[in-house]
Amino acid sequence: MGDAFPKVKVAAVQAAPVYLDRERTLDKAVALISEASRNGADLIAFPEVFIAGYPYWNRLENVFKTTPFFIELLKNSVCVPGPVTDRLCKAAQQAGVHVVIGINERPDNTLGTLYNTNLVIGPEGKILLKHRKLMPTYAEKLVWGFGDGSSLRILSTPVGKIGTLICGENANPLARFALIAQGEEIHISNYPSMPSADYGGYNIGADVKLGGAAHAFEGKVFHVVVSSVIDATVVEKLADTEEKRRILTSPQSSFTGIFAPGGNLMSNTASPDQEEIVYAVCDIEDIIGPKLRHDLAGQYNRFDVLSLKLNRAPCKPITETDEALPADGDISDEEQESEKD
């Protein structure tokens, strides 16, 4: 008989938040968790910063005019732990599922910084991981602070070894390898939707699809890719000129789908402008064959030639100590010894 490996039904929830409305978006998230679990999902993934939205204004507006939007985003951000995470944890527990969801996180030590954060919640209703995006992308640096290496971890769960990276982090080979090397089996990446008329004409959907297949192929992992939708609540908040309305209502560019360990698409894909839940069943045993060809965490690597250093130290604004400091005018022992010399 030997060992049995889990078969997992995963759900990629392509949906729009109720833009800059934390409470209504939370209600929507809880309802979507319930819907996906009724359809048999064991693992449910939501878009980047689903609660309560992506800061599109930084791509539309003079930076000096964006402070009111940041204030509104901060007011609708999420403290971890707090009432919002309590409801998410309860929803995951009631459904008996794992949930990966993006939030705008507000730290407890300042009102001037937010973080682009993914939460992984277990079926026992506990937060298993809080991962802050290492490096905000492009104009995002005007909104979010930097994460650190403390959360570049995989989670060993009954549904498999789960890892997650946010949006542009998935373009970083070192961040992806940090998870592959820990034995990642199911990777979750999440993204915003972008308007096709966005300045520069960036086609995020094509890049996300390419990167999704690449990580599944390189790591021999299942890769759940999920993006958001730009809906009328975004346009209502941000489109105060015809030009902004033209951009925000242009055809959307995004990708939501699920890849098999060889890099092949194993699910249907969601239409970029439609809310839809995409499902697939991931049999962890299906990783073994592809790994036999290219196991970057084992036999198909040379760690004596190539290696990665991962700094897990949390970035803290202050380091506290109980050591007594010399009073003003006092001379430390070291200084006294120096004077004797």
pLDDT digits (tens, 9 = 90+) for 210-232: 999 999 999 999 999 999 999 99
**pLDDT, greater one: 340 or 144:** 144
E strand or H helix that includes residue 194: strand 194-195
Predicted confidence band of residue 202 (pLDDT cuts 50, 70, 90): confident
Residue 326 pLDDT > 90:
no
Residue 310 pLDDT > 90:
yes
- For the chain, the average pLDDT equals 94
pLDDT at residue 1, rounded to an integer? 87
Sheet holding 276-283, edge to edge: 127-132, 115-121, 98-105, 43-45, 7-14, 276-283
Residue 178 pLDDT > 80:
yes
Residue 328 pLDDT > 80:
no
Average pLDDT over every residue of 230-239: 96
Residue 19 pLDDT > 80:
yes
Q: Are strands 186-191 and 160-166 parallel, antiparallel or unpaired?
A: parallel
pLDDT at residue 129, rounded to an integer? 98
pLDDT at residue 256, rounded to an integer? 98
Contact 56, 67 (CB under 8 A): no
* Domain assignments of the chain as residue spans, ordered by start: 7-293
Average pLDDT over every residue of 178-197: 97
Predicted confidence band of residue 289 (pLDDT cuts 50, 70, 90): very high
pLDDT at residue 320, rounded to an integer? 87
Average pLDDT over every residue of 154-172: 98
pLDDT digits (tens, 9 = 90+) for 60-81: 988 899 999 999 999 999 999 9
Contact 44, 99 (CB under 8 A): yes
Contact 147, 129 (CB under 8 A): no
- How far apart CA 129 and CA 121 sit, in angstroms, is 7
Structure tokens at 326: 């010399």
Predicted confidence band of residue 322 (pLDDT cuts 50, 70, 90): confident
Q: Which residues pair with 212 in a beta bridge?
A: none
9 a catalytic residue: no
Catalytic residue (choose from 9, 167, 169, 184): 167
Closest CA to 222 of 296, 153, 271, 280: 280
Contact 167, 48 (CB under 8 A): yes
Residue 44 pLDDT > 80:
yes
pLDDT at residue 4, rounded to an integer? 95
Closest CA to 209 of 191, 221, 196, 234: 191
pLDDT at residue 319, rounded to an integer? 87
Contact 211, 170 (CB under 8 A): yes
Q: Which CATH superfamily is domain 7-293 in?
A: Carbon-nitrogen hydrolase (3.60.110.10)
Helix and strand numbers, DSSP H then E, in the chain: 9, 13
167 a catalytic residue: yes
DSSP symbol at 51: B
Residue 341 pLDDT > 60:
no
pLDDT digits (tens, 9 = 90+) for 95-137: 999 999 999 999 999 999 999 999 999 999 999 999 999 999 9
Other Cβ atoms closer than 10 A to 189: 27
Contact 298, 277 (CB under 8 A): no
Distance of CA 46 to the CA centre of its chain: 9
Catalytic residue (choose from 9, 48, 140, 161): 48
Catalytic residue (choose from 133, 161, 209, 244): 133
CA dihedral 108, 109, 110, 114 (to 10 degrees): -50
Contact 24, 57 (CB under 8 A): no
Instruction: Concatenate the DSSP letters of all residues of 253-279 into one string.
Output: E---EEE-TTS-B-S----TTS-EEEE
- How far apart CA 142 and CA 109 sit, in angstroms, is 19
Predicted confidence band of residue 323 (pLDDT cuts 50, 70, 90): confident
Predicted confidence band of residue 150 (pLDDT cuts 50, 70, 90): very high
CA dihedral 48, 218, 183, 185 (to 10 degrees): 60
Residue 325 pLDDT > 80:
no
